[in-house]
Amino acid sequence: MTKAATLYGAKTQTEVLRPGPLRPANIIRSKFPTYKNGSNGIVIKLADGPEIPPLKEIVAKETADLLDRRQRLSVRELAMKFEKGLNTATLLSNEVKWRQVALLERDILLKNLKSVLESLRGQVTGKTKDEIEESISMVEILAVQLSKREAELLQQKEEVTKLAKSLKQASEDAKRIVEEERANSHTEIECAKNAVQRVQQAVQEHEKMSQSTGKQDMEELKKEVRVARRIKMLHQPSKAMDLENEIRILRKTFAEKSTDCVNLLKELELHKRLKENGTPSFDLEGLQCLGSVLRIVALSGTHMDLSSVSIQWFRIHPKESDKEIISGATRPVYALEPQDVGRYLQAEIDVGGEIAVAKTAGPVDPDAGLVDYVETLVRKPETEFNVVVLQLNGIEQPKESVHVLNVGRLRMRLTKGKSVVAKEFYSSSMQLCGVRGGGEAASQAMFWQPRNDLSLVLAFETARERNTAIMLARRFAIDCNIILAGPGDKTPW
């Protein structure tokens, strides 16, 4: 018994340490069930390491992943993925070969072990013989398991081979498609280069032509400049200068004729008045256009003090005979405002109980270009004007400080720096007109009553700015269904 056990141990150790085809089996030992001899000669199955998914699942997963990403990859990336899949399939095929070699080696090992156990079975008796027979049966079971595993490996090898062939074919197709796309891209690039070259040539030709044409134009302009200088040096006026002189002379003649016509109309009106009554006659002096000032002058040849005479100004519509009294206009001087445009102005002077009348020869003319300027400002949300407050509720104010008047779409606001002096929306209680009390700056002054308890007299930089502010405010107020007028003026509603 001792000799047999010794021989068995020695034989087993020799078989384990034998060089040759048994050594590569250790490479994939962790992938197959491992057995060892326990106490009393019992074969014990060792615990397996971490489970590794079968080769078939790995191949199926890779294939599904490739098919899923095929629609999102470009041709070049698809080719790279196919090559990667082909490499993976090659590695899997090599792994299958290694497993097959390991199975063959284990098969040889089991056959050798079985032959050793059978040789020992004939040499021992009793309990040891039973143990050897049990070991032989376990070896046979292991042989059956290895044969099954070998059949599975053969099937997996066939599947991997098919997959490798399909991946190889797909990789070749992808390479062919890449080559075709590359050729097409090269063709398109060449066409684009040719087109760019043609455009560059056309641009260069156009630049050359423009340069040559520009040089010719420059030479012609230089010649014309030389001729013009020569003409100027010789004091020979050109046709354009002659036309300008003629137009200037015609304008001057037209203005003189217009003045003569106005004077003739005034003389006719004066003769009519003298025939009607023997009261002193008066006339209005000044331009009859917006922005000017009308002044009452006596025509009897004697100087008359009009400060102690009762005076009242009226507006008369050209097609109507009714007179509209201008409230507050009781001075010998009256500054025309936008509401007077298109109407006659008449001043009635009470001299010793007799009424003398001075009337304009025609309707008041508008300021040239003022209407278009106001229409331009209407498009803005608000417009600012620099003003000086002359009176506040009838009390004179210092004239050094400058205020800002904002005329907006919905309201008017007067500010001085950050402080607000007056801010009111357009309403029926608001009044706005030119100053009617006379004075040197009457044409630049405006009367504004934001509310019943506040009135202001504002002076603008020019008469044009004053008339612009009045017209703009009235235009915005009309959009709000409000009519801004002066004290006592008539309104349509």
Same domain as 377, residue 346: no
Whether 79 and 207 map to the same domain: the answer is yes
**pLDDT above 80: residue 222:** yes
444 versus 93: the higher-pLDDT residue is 444
Q: Which helix (H) or strand (E) holds 333?
A: strand 333-335
Instruction: Considering only residues 424 and 34, tell me which one the structure prediction assigns the higher pLDDT.
Output: 424
> Does 79 share its domain with 191?
yes
Per-residue pLDDT of 324-353, as tens digits, reads: 889 888 888 999 999 999 899 999 988 877
12: amino acid identity, one letter: T
Q: Using alpha carbons only, give the angle 296, 299, 305 rounded to the nearest 5 degrees.
A: 55
The mean of the pLDDT values for the chain is 76
Buried b (16+ CB within 10 A) or exposed e, 331-342: bbbbbbbbbbbe
CATH at 323: 2.60.40.2700
- Shared domain check, 105 and 162: yes
Instruction: State whether 107 and 206 are in the same domain.
Output: yes
**What pLDDT score does 116 carry?**
75
pLDDT higher than threshold 90 for residue 412 = yes
Which domain-ending residue is among 314, 332, 359? 359
Phi-psi region of 213 (alpha: psi -120 to 50; beta: other; left: phi over 0): alpha
Q: Could you give the dihedral angle defined by the CA atoms of residues 348, 349, 353 and 354, in that order, rounded to the nearest 10 degrees?
A: -70
Residue carrying structure tokens 């009242």: 312
Answer yes or no: do 378 and 425 share one domain. Answer: yes
Q: Is residue 352 located within the same domain as residue 386?
A: no
Whole-number CA gyration radius for the chain: 59
Tell me which of 56 and 95 has the higher pLDDT: 95
Lowest-pLDDT range of 29-43, 63-77, 460-474: 29-43
Report the 10 Å Cβ neighbour count for 435: 25
Rounded to 5°, the CA angle 390-342-329 comes to 35
Q: Mean of the pLDDT values across residues 178-188?
A: 83
pLDDT tens digits along 284-320: 888 888 888 888 888 765 567 777 788 899 998 888 7
Query: Residue 166: pLDDT above 60?
Result: yes
Q: Is 221 a member of any domain? A: no
- Indicate whether 81 and 204 sit together in one domain: yes
DSSP code at position 75:
H
Q: Are residues 206 and 332 in the same domain?
A: no
Among 211, 234, 252, where does a domain finish? 211
- Contact status, residue 366 vs residue 290, Cβ threshold 8 Å: yes
Q: Is 315 helix (H, G, I), strand (E, B) or coil?
A: strand
Count other Cβ atoms within 10 Å, centred on residue 103.
18
430: containing domain = 370-480
Token couple for 325: 């009294």
Q: Which of 300, 335, 359 represents a domain boundary (last residue)?
A: 359
Separation between Cα atoms, residue 35 and residue 41, nearest integer Å:
12
In the predicted model, is pLDDT for residue 458 greater than 90? yes
Count: domains in the chain = 3
**Residue 257 pLDDT greater than 70, yes or no:** yes
In percent, the amount of the chain with pLDDT more than 90 equals 20
Tell me whether residue 319 is exposed, middle or buried, using C-beta atoms within 10 angstroms of its C-beta: 0 to 12, 13 to 18, 19 or more: exposed
CB of 346 closer than 8 Å to CB of 358? yes
Average pLDDT score over residue span 102-131: 72
Order of strands across the sheet with 323-325? 323-325, 310-316, 344-351, 354-359
Same domain as 88, residue 175: yes
More confident site: 22 or 404: 404
Query: Is 168 inside a domain boundary?
Result: yes
Residue 322 and residue 388 share a domain: no
Flag the least confident range among 36-50, 63-77, 302-316. Answer: 36-50
Asked whether residue 291 is assigned to any structural domain, the reply reads yes
| 53 within domain boundaries | no
Please enumerate in sequence order all residues whose Cβ is within 8 A of that of 405, keeping only pairs 6 or more positions apart, or say none: 384, 385, 386, 387, 412, 413, 414, 458, 469
Q: H or E stretch including 26?
A: none
Contact 341, 300 (CB under 8 A): no
Q: Identify residue 328 by its one-letter amino acid code.
A: G
User: Is there a domain that residue 18 lies in?
Assistant: no
Instruction: Report d(CA 188, CA 198) in Å as an integer.
Output: 15
Same domain, 336 and 407: no
The region that residue 201 occupies, defined by phi over 0 for left and psi between -120 and 50 for alpha, beta otherwise, is alpha
Q: Are 81 and 73 in contact (CB under 8 A)?
A: yes
Q: Is the pLDDT of residue 20 over 60?
A: no
CB 447, CB 460: distance < 8 Å: no
| pLDDT value at 104 more than 60 | yes
Burial class (CB in 10 A: 0-12, 13-18, 19+), 1: exposed
